[in-house]
Amino acid sequence: MALAILCSGGDAPGMNAALKKFVDHVYKCGQTPWFIYDGLEGMIDGTIRQAYHKDVAGILHNGGTIIGSSRSKRFYDPVYRRQAFENLQKYGIDGVVVLGGDGSYNAFEVLSREHPVNFVGIPGTIDNDIYGTEYCLGVDTALNVIRHAVDNIRDTASSFKRAFVVETMGRECGYLAAVTAITSGAEICAIPEICFNKDAAQEQLKKEISGGRRYVLAIVAEGTKMTEEIRQWLSDEIGMETRVTVLGHIQRGGNPTVRERLMAFEFTVHAVDLLLHNHSVRKAIGYRNGKFEAMDITDVNAGHYKIPDNILRDLHYLD
């Protein structure tokens, strides 16, 4: 069999580890691995090459993805989807491993309804917002990148009696912000999933400041669109000089952590084995309760991810 892999949508640390394991494992199984470069756009354009061990040597420690990624408006057009399918046929590709998020999953579900394409998705997004899995590639590294930045910010905040508002990524999911707030001991956290109780926070913070508190740390998820509002509130109502740090795309880069690399290996082995042992596959690999399992792609795309209750439980001042 000839199996291909592509990265689609936003890049995430751990993708290169998955690419290496893909090549190594496919060859170990006596099959032929292929790379689809630049995501869905590359599949449309036929930027498809056989992969060799030399292509993945020394890439484990690198963030990003050596085969590139993309978001594709052209893929909304059935003409280009057919072109992508014909390119897979041209190279004799029997199945595709898709590294990406919900947009990538939806794209391949649509493609597979129109054409006989076998694929298995591996959740790859720092947002950690894919239904049916507790872990997405990239999230552990992103959390560690954020943790390092927040620890540094806390140092300067405490030195100058300041408040700092740190904005994290995550689109409409507050997972990164919530976990960061808990593990950094932040006083404030605002996420899209639950309303922030400003009155309760204000009463408590004023008590603590009058008792000697020197700084306030607020973590705000980008999806709330509340970064400036929280800054203004801390400055005007709490009475502290306040600075804003928008972490931005540094959260998507960096050397993948040890856990990230191990998870990438396991996701990839499960995905490849599923394609090798089934004639018709339209699945995604999820990680739940310490186990990897195959999930129907329709169920994944129809579901809605929710932050675990134990994480929400440990946040302050949320209604």
pLDDT of residue 129: 96
Positions marked catalytic? 127
Asked whether the predicted pLDDT for residue 45 surpasses 90, the reply is yes
Give the tens place of pLDDT for each residue, 185-206. Answer: 999 999 999 999 999 999 999 9
Comparing CA positions, the residue from 128, 138, 72 lying closest to residue 308 is 128
CA distances (Å), origin 88, targets 1, 35, 42, 67, 129: 13, 11, 11, 17, 29
Q: What is the mean pLDDT of residues 92-103?
A: 96
pLDDT given for residue 161 in this prediction: 85
pLDDT at position 191: 97
CA 38 to chain centre: 18
Q: For 98-110, how does the pLDDT look when each residue is reduced to its tens digit (9 = 90+)? A: 999 999 999 999 9
**318 pLDDT higher than 80:** no
Angle formed by the axes of helices 15-28 and 258-276, nearest 10°? 40
Structural domains of the chain in order of their starting residue, each with its CATH number: 2-138+256-305 (3.40.50.450), 140-252 (3.40.50.460)
User: Looking at residue 160, what is its pLDDT?
Assistant: 84
Per-residue pLDDT reduced to its tens digit, 260-288: 999 999 999 999 999 999 888 999 999 99
pLDDT at 240: 92
Q: Distance between CA 5 and CA 269 in Å, rounded?
A: 12
Give per-residue pLDDT as tens, 156-185.
888 888 999 999 999 999 999 999 999 999
- pTM for the model stands at 0.94
Residue 311's pLDDT is 95
Q: What is the pLDDT of residue 317?
A: 79
Note the Cα 317 to chain centre separation in Å.
26
84 close to 111: Cβ distance less than 8 angstroms: yes
User: What is the pLDDT at residue 157?
Assistant: 87
Closest-CA residue to 36 (of 60, 72, 78): 72
The pLDDT, as a whole number, for residue 159 is 86
